[in-house]
Amino acid sequence: MVWKVKCQGGVPSQLRLRITSFAFTTWNNALRVLDAIGIGKSLRQQHDLTLSILVASTFLVPSASKISFNGHEVCCLQRRLLLEALTNELPRDTTRFSSKVVSIEKSDFFKRLHLAYGTVLKTKVLIGCDGVNLVVAKWLGLEKSVFTSRSIIRGHTRFEGGHSFGPKFRLFVGKGVRSGFLPCNDENVYWFLTWTPSTKEEELEDDPVKLKQFVLNKVCVKTEIKTSPSYHHGLCRGFI
């Protein structure tokens, strides 16, 4: 599944690595890839392994069930730290930001990437991971993304002095809403809320204050989010 970002949290537009961003869950195979390129050890030192997931219903009794991740290496990886680790391993001036691909041209055994502002790059290997507006996917002839009719609000919260959640993924489901949060380490927590919006709720996209209040009214752990000293969010529309 790919998510199209509608506001904060989109593709980096700065000329340098952006400071704040989101996180995502990695499993055994992803961490092995990070080990293969030499950054797995440093990222493990900055993140805690997730030991289990606690799934709870917001209206059923009994409401919770617990699943252990025993035998699996699962962690919530902060995107910012991943990008920093990758750029630190590359030679100086080999990382480009604000480099939107506008077209791709085949040239013998190479691919020529035409970037915004006129820059052209020549490469043997091209890996496309540029979101829902897939220039690489279009060039390969893949089908267009299909809208799932669901929206997701996701965020990254930092608790100065630490939190007390422990290394557990908490997931809450019920009445068409799914929400949850997952600690990255002792201070940083990734959280999300997904639902099928009504026409009126779609209007919240352009009002961050009302959007935040909407989340606090919906999520069942709202007091834990309210007390966080820093708050970053992005509203996404779901595509497959």
* Whether residue 73 sits in one domain with residue 27: yes
* Whether residue 134 sits in one domain with residue 62: no
* Whether residue 113 sits in one domain with residue 230: no
User: Whole-model pTM?
Assistant: 0.70
Joined together, the tokens standing for residue 227 give 């007390």
Tens digit of pLDDT for each residue in 182-216?
Answer: 999 999 999 988 888 887 777 777 787 888 788 87
Tens digit of pLDDT for each residue in 155-180?
Answer: 888 898 999 999 999 999 888 889 99
> Per-residue confidence at 126, pLDDT binned at 50, 70, 90?
confident
* Whether residue 9 sits in one domain with residue 61: yes
Please check whether residue 225 lies inside any domain of the structure. yes
Please check whether residue 180 lies inside any domain of the structure. yes
Please check whether residue 152 lies inside any domain of the structure. yes
| Cα distance between residue 200 and residue 140, in whole Å | 38
Measured at the CA of 76, the angle between CA 153 and CA 161, to 5 degrees, comes to 90
* Whether residue 192 sits in one domain with residue 172: yes
* Whether residue 180 sits in one domain with residue 71: yes
Residue 76 confidence (pLDDT): 94
DSSP summary character for residue 168: E
> Per-residue confidence at 17, pLDDT binned at 50, 70, 90?
very low
Please check whether residue 220 lies inside any domain of the structure. yes
Please check whether residue 90 lies inside any domain of the structure. no
* Whether residue 201 sits in one domain with residue 167: yes
> Per-residue confidence at 59, pLDDT binned at 50, 70, 90?
confident
Q: Is 195 exposed, middle or buried (0-12, 13-18, 19+ CB in 10 A)?
A: middle
Please give the biggest Cα pair distance in the chain: 64
| Cα distance between residue 33 and residue 233, in whole Å | 28
Residue 45 confidence (pLDDT): 94
Of 53-57, 151-155, 171-175, least confident by mean pLDDT is: 151-155
* Whether residue 212 sits in one domain with residue 149: yes
* Whether residue 125 sits in one domain with residue 10: no
| Cα distance between residue 149 and residue 167, in whole Å | 32
CA dihedral sign, ordered 204, 79, 86, 74: negative
* Whether residue 106 sits in one domain with residue 79: no
Measured at the CA of 138, the angle between CA 8 and CA 143, to 5 degrees, comes to 95
Domain count, the chain: 2
* Whether residue 124 sits in one domain with residue 28: no
Side chain identity at residue 104, one-letter code: I
Q: Which domain holds residue 125?
A: 100-140
Please check whether residue 6 lies inside any domain of the structure. yes
- Give Cβ neighbours of residue 136 (< 8 Å, ≥ 6 apart): 101, 104, 126, 127, 128, 130
Residue 21 confidence (pLDDT): 56
* Whether residue 72 sits in one domain with residue 176: yes
- CATH number for the domain spanning 194: value is 3.30.9.30
Please check whether residue 18 lies inside any domain of the structure. yes
Please check whether residue 91 lies inside any domain of the structure. no
